[in-house]
Structure 1
Amino acid sequence: MKKLTVSALLGACAIIAATPAQAGSTDGKVQVKLLATGVLPDGKITALENNAIGLPAGSQTSANDNVVPTIAIEYFASDNVSIETICCLTQHKVGGEGAIAGAKILEHVLILPATVTLKYHLDAGPIKPYVGVGPSIFFYIDEKPGATTAALGGTKVKLDNKFGVALQVGVDIPLGDKGFGLSLDAKKYFMSTRLHVSNAAGVEVLTTKHKLDPWVLSGGVSYRF
C-alpha cells in the first residue's frame, strides 16, 4: 500500500506538471485550494502492550487539536471524477487522562498526513458537492517526551508510521466563471499508531497502541484552471 500511495502522489504531480497553462475556468482540469484546516485527533490508548514503566490502571491519553494552513491539489479526469492530494504539517502534544490526568506524555510531535483521495462530484448545478475515499499514511516527525514521561525514565519516544483510510465529503462553490471559488471539506480518518518509550539504556519500557481517528475540517479558497 505504501508503494501505491507514493505512486499515486507522483502520478498526480506528473499529470499536473504536464497540464498546459491556461486561464481560470470552472471546467478546468486542475484545481488548487488554500485552506485553513482543523485537525482534531483522538489519541486514546486502546492497548497496553508493555508497561515496565509502571502506568497505573485506568491510565488514558488524549492529543490536542490544532489549526494549520493546508494546500490541496486536484486533477479532474472527467466532470465527475477527480483525484486529490493534500499537504500540511500539524503539531500536537499528548497529555494524560483518567488515572494520569494532567500528565505530560509527549511534549511535541509533527504529523505529516500523506493522503490521496478519489472523489466523485455530484451534478447539482453551480454548487458542486462531492464524496471521496482513499489511502493515507501518517508520518511522525521530531517526537519529544513530555515532562512526566522523562521523570519516569523515558528519554526517547517514537510513534510508528501507519497506513489508514480517509473518507471525505465536501462542496465547491464557484465565484463567477474565472475559476475562483470557495471550498468546504471534511475528512474522517481511520488511523492507529503505537507509542514506544525507551530509557537511557535503549530498553523499551512502555509500548501502547493508540486510536487517532481524527476529523480534519477545512475551509478556504480555490482556483481551477
Structure 2
Amino acid sequence: MKKSLLAIALLSSFSFTTLANQAGDILVRGGATMISPDSSKAGVALDGTMTPLSISVDDNTQLGLNVVYFFDSNWAVELLAATPFTHDVVLHDPQGVTEAVYGANLDGAILAEVTHLPPTLSALYYFDTGSAFKPYVGAGINYTVFFDEEFTATPASVGFKNLELDSSFGLSFQVGADYELNKNWSVNVSARYIDIGTEATFDLEDPHNVGLAGNGSASIDVDPMVYSIMLGYKF
C-alpha cells in the first residue's frame, strides 16, 4: 500500500513538472482574433463646425498570432500580431442631410474602408494552479497604424476625398487562459481591451455645386474588445 501511494505521488510530481512553465520556454500561438470596436458614434465636423452626421466602425476577424516568452512559471512577456484588419466605416445620417443635399440617402451606408495593424506588447502573470489549466492576466502597450483608407464609390462620387487616420498609442489589458493538452500543445482563449483613438480627416469637395464643401474631421474612440481563440505550441 505504501509503495502504491509513493508511486502515485511520484507520478503526480512528474506530471506537474512537465506541465509547469519554465524560464526560457517560448509559446507560439495562432488562431482566430476578432476586433470589436466601441459601438459609440463619432461626430463629424466640417471646417470645425459639428454636423448632424456621425460615423461608427464595425467588427472584423483575422488570423491572430502571438509569441510568449517565459521568465519563470509566473511571469512572461507576449507580443501580439495579426494579419491586417479591415473595417467598414458606417455613416449615420438620422436627419437625412445627405438625401436633402445629394438626393441620395446615405444613412447606414458604408462610408469608407480602413485597414490597420495593432501590434501589442504585454507583460503576463500566470497563476499557479498545479494543473493543465493556466489562467493569466496581462497589461501592455499598443501601437496601431492605419493605412489603405478609402471612401467607397457612392461617397466618393459626391465629393468625399483624401481620407486619413492618425496612428495611435494606448494601453492594453487582458485576461486569458491556456489549457495544456500535453507538454507542447495547448489551447488558448483571451479577451483584451485596447485603448485606440484616432483623428480622421478628409476633404469634402463640391463636384455637383450643391454648396457643401470643406475640411472634414472626426475624433474616433475605437477602444475595441479583442477576442481570440488559438492553438499553441511550446518550445
Q: TM-score range by the shorter chain?
A: 0.7 to 0.9
- The alpha-carbon distance between structure 1 residues 145 and 151, as it changes in their structure 2 partners (threshold 3 A), is same
CA–CA distance in structure 1, aligned partners of residues 193 and 120 of structure 2: 12
- The reply on whether 1:197 has 2:192 as its aligned counterpart is no
TM score, norm. by length of structure 2? 0.76
Give the counterpart letter for 2:228 in structure 1.
S
Aligned partner of 1:82 in structure 2 is 76
Aligned partners of 1:35 and 1:219 also within 8 Å: yes
Give the counterpart letter for 2:222 in structure 1.
L
Aligned partner of 2:141 in structure 1 is 135
Q: Which of residues 92, 96, 111 in structure 1 aligns to 2:91?
A: 96
Higher Cα Rg: structure 1 or 2?
2
Deviations 1:103-136 (A, max 9, x none): 3321x21110011011100112221100000010
Q: Which of residues 140, 150, 153 in structure 2 aligns to 1:144?
A: 150
What SS class does the counterpart of residue 156 from structure 2 fall into? helix
Aligned partner of 2:177 in structure 1 is 171
- The reply on whether 1:61 has 2:66 as its aligned counterpart is no
Aligned partners of 2:31 and 2:63 also within 8 Å: yes
Give identity over the alignment, percent: 26
TM score, norm. by length of structure 1? 0.79
Which ranges in structure 1 are unaligned for 5 or more consecutive residues?
1-23
- The reply on whether 1:160 has 2:166 as its aligned counterpart is yes
Give the counterpart letter for 2:141 in structure 1.
P
Deviations 1:25-68 (A, max 9, x none): 753510000121111113644454x41498742x2222121111
Aligned partner of 2:98 in structure 1 is none
Higher relative contact order (CA 8 A, sep 6+): 1
Q: Which of residues 101, 113, 122 in structure 2 aligns to 1:117?
A: 122
> What RMSD, in angstroms, separates the aligned Cα atoms of the two structures?
2.5
Aligned partner of 1:33 in structure 2 is 29
Deviations 1:175-206 (A, max 9, x none): 023x11100011111211111102579x9610
Aligned partner of 2:102 in structure 1 is none
CA–CA distance in structure 1, aligned partners of residues 214 and 146 of structure 2: 18
